[in-house]
Amino acid sequence: MVDIGILENIHIFKNYEIVEIEKLAAICTIENYQVGESLFLEGDSADAMWIVIDGSVELRFEMPDASKATKENTLSTHDKDVPESQVFGWSCFVPPYQMRLSAYCSSRRCEVLKINSKQLHKIMEEDTNIGYKILQYVVHVVGYRFKQMQEEVAKSIGINMMNSW
């Protein structure tokens, strides 16, 4: 169980009642990573929702026949300073429940909150208010990630146009 004070300071849980936070704290763990370490790899079971508490995490796609994803393969960066970017691992809500990208610690060190997805699903089914709040925030996160991807595509198209002159 994680101290409820930690959850109270995370943006996604700002409007939760104390009893709701207590339920969630019981299914959370805190993990620490060093720069370059992977939190999970593309294709791994999506058995958790993740939240950055400190530091930065990059989500990267793996290139076929490459030994390890590099910074050039980064699709999004997640850190504690941008609330919409704190949450990742929403593949735990979408079949086939596998990670679509790999996650790497991109700061000197990072601290993340890991929420067990099976237990989270159970809580969300039993307490639909919690379920609604979490899924509402996850939809917000997906929208943020989609906007990030749009910006990258536009940048790439612009670079290609400039290079073709």
pTM: 0.83
Kindly indicate whether the domain formed by 4-163 is annotated with CATH number 2.60.120.620: no
Over residues 35-42, mean pLDDT: 94
State how far the alpha carbon of 3 is from the alpha carbons of 18, 53, 113, in Å. Answer: 12, 13, 11
Query: For residue 105, with 0-12 CB atoms within 10 Å meaning exposed, 13-18 middle and 19 or more buried, which class applies?
Result: buried
- Residue 75's pLDDT band (cuts 50, 70, 90): low
Report whether 111 contacts 55 (CB < 8 A): yes
Indicate the domain borders of the chain.
Answer: 4-163
Better-scored residue on pLDDT, 116 or 72: 116
Quickly count: other Cβ atoms within 10 Å of residue 131's Cβ.
Answer: 15
Residue with tokens 């504690």, as numbered in its chain: 80
Tokens coding 133: 């709040």
With a cut of 70, say whether residue 39 has pLDDT above it: yes
Express each pLDDT in 131-151 by its tens digit: 999 999 999 988 888 887 788
Express each pLDDT in 42-66 by its tens digit: 999 999 999 999 999 998 877 665 5
Strands (E), the chain: 28-34, 38-40, 48-54, 56-60, 74-79, 87-88, 102-105, 109-116
Report whether 154 contacts 148 (CB < 8 A): no
